[in-house]
Structure 1
Amino acid sequence: MPHIPLDPQLPGIRSLMAFRPETAVPLNHLAQTLLRGPSSLPVGERELIAAVVSNGNECRFCHGSHAAAAAETLDGGREVVDAACAGVDDAPVGEKLKALLRIALAVRETGRAVTSELIAAARAEGATDVELHDTVLIAAAFCMYNRYVDGLATIAPEDPAAYDQMGKVLATEGYVR
């Protein structure tokens, strides 16, 4: 049961955005910029970073919706997403993305867990300064989104089909409508 009065027809962050539309605008713009804005990282990889961080934070709503969006936009689809969420080292993704996912998971713990060694490993795989920046910011932002959603006990659907539909909408429409 949510801690504040939220529309029960709107799951997760959608209900929070309806509750405070004035905060929804910058939050949606941030997500749009990070996950859909110009980048050398494909949309699917950025969504995968969001999904892996949300999975690590045990945020059912954010993990479900961003895992579905990643599956819609990433070569290999759901199989790749599920494997990355189960363990970065065995995920069927490139070494650069693995290195960036390791950085994202370190951010999930604390920003201070991002070591020079993690950065050097990502650089050795070809990660650029902008990709490093964006990975850290995506991970940090999703820690915030996860805590926002779970901190107010929003409703998270149990049915995986609900997330599949959300993923399709996010993949086609993005975050600013």
Structure 2
Amino acid sequence: MTHIDLGIDEKQFPGITGLMRYRPETAKPLNELAEVLLRAPHSLPAGERELIAAYVSGRNECDFCCASHSAVAAARLDEGYDLVDQVRADLDTAPISAKLRALLRIAGAVQVSGRDVTAELVADARAQGATDLEIHDTVLIAAAFCMYNRYVDGLATFAPEGRDAYAESARRLVERGYGSTVGARPADEPVA
């Protein structure tokens, strides 16, 4: 049960979806940020950006965000959950590009502390072909997901168990994006 009364059935609106229903004024900019970082046109594919979000959320032990963004990453990546699971289990041996590995190392450093992002991590990412925009957005995705994770867990929201619980919301996010209907959706249609 959440720490505050959201005025909703938290099992129907788990995680951040219930929080966004509770406070649509803050939901709008949070969803707009997620939309820009995870779905807008970019040199990094959306699946890789979702993987960064899932990776940071897993490191933060945020069950809802990790499961939700793992589901979206799996839906967007050709290798699906196999790749998501491999990255989350062992970044060093996961079958990903050297560039993505370097960016995920930067994201992991941000998760610990922004000050843990070193010139060496950035130089390695550049040496692997990462652009300044990709480095910038990796840092911002990681920082934003630290915030989202703490928002979700700081209010003790409900997180469903099992991948099946996130499949439909992942499909919606892939098709429609983040917050495209905040404040205007039917009661049975969660955002994430």
TM-score, normalization by structure 1: 0.98
- Which residue of 1 is the match for residue 16 of structure 2? 13
- Give 1:164 shift: 1.9
Q: Distance in 2 between matches of 1:159 and 1:95?
A: 30
* Equivalent residues of 2:103, 2:135 under 8 A apart: yes
State yes or no: 1:100 paired with 2:103.
yes
TM-superposed CA distance for 1:85, in Å, is 0.7
Q: Distance in 1 between matches of 2:35 and 2:162?
A: 26
- Identical-pair percentage: 63
The answer for the alignment partner of 2:162 in structure 1 is 159
Q: Could you tell me which runs of 5 or more consecutive residues in structure 1 were left unpaired when the two chains were aligned.
A: none
Partners of 1:83 and 1:53 lie apart in 2 by 14
Counterpart amino acid of 1:47? E
Range with greater deviation from structure 2 (124-133 or 87-96): 87-96
Structure 2 unpaired stretches of 5+: 181-192
Give the counterpart letter for 2:109 in structure 1.
Answer: A
The CA RMSD measured in Å over matched residues stands at: 0.8
Distance across 2 between alignment mates of 1:101 and 1:13: 24
Displacement after TM superposition at 1:176 (Å): 2.8
Residues in 1 aligned to 2:162 and 2:93: alpha-carbon distance in whole angstroms: 27
Runs of 4+ off more than 6 Å: none
2:161 maps to 1:138: no
Which whole-Å deviations, capped at 9, do the CAs of 1:53-85 have from their partners, x for residues lacking one? Answer: 000000000000000000000121110000111
Give the match for residue 89 of structure 2: 86
Matched, 1:2 2:24: no
CA offsets per residue over residues 12-34 of structure 1, 9 Å max, x none? Answer: 00000000000000000000000
Do the aligned partners of 2:73 and 2:80 also contact (CA within 8 Å) in 1?
yes
* Structure 2 match to 1:128: 131
* Number of corresponding residues: 177
- Name the SS of the counterpart of 1:88 in structure 2: coil
The structure carrying a bigger helix percent of its residues is: 1
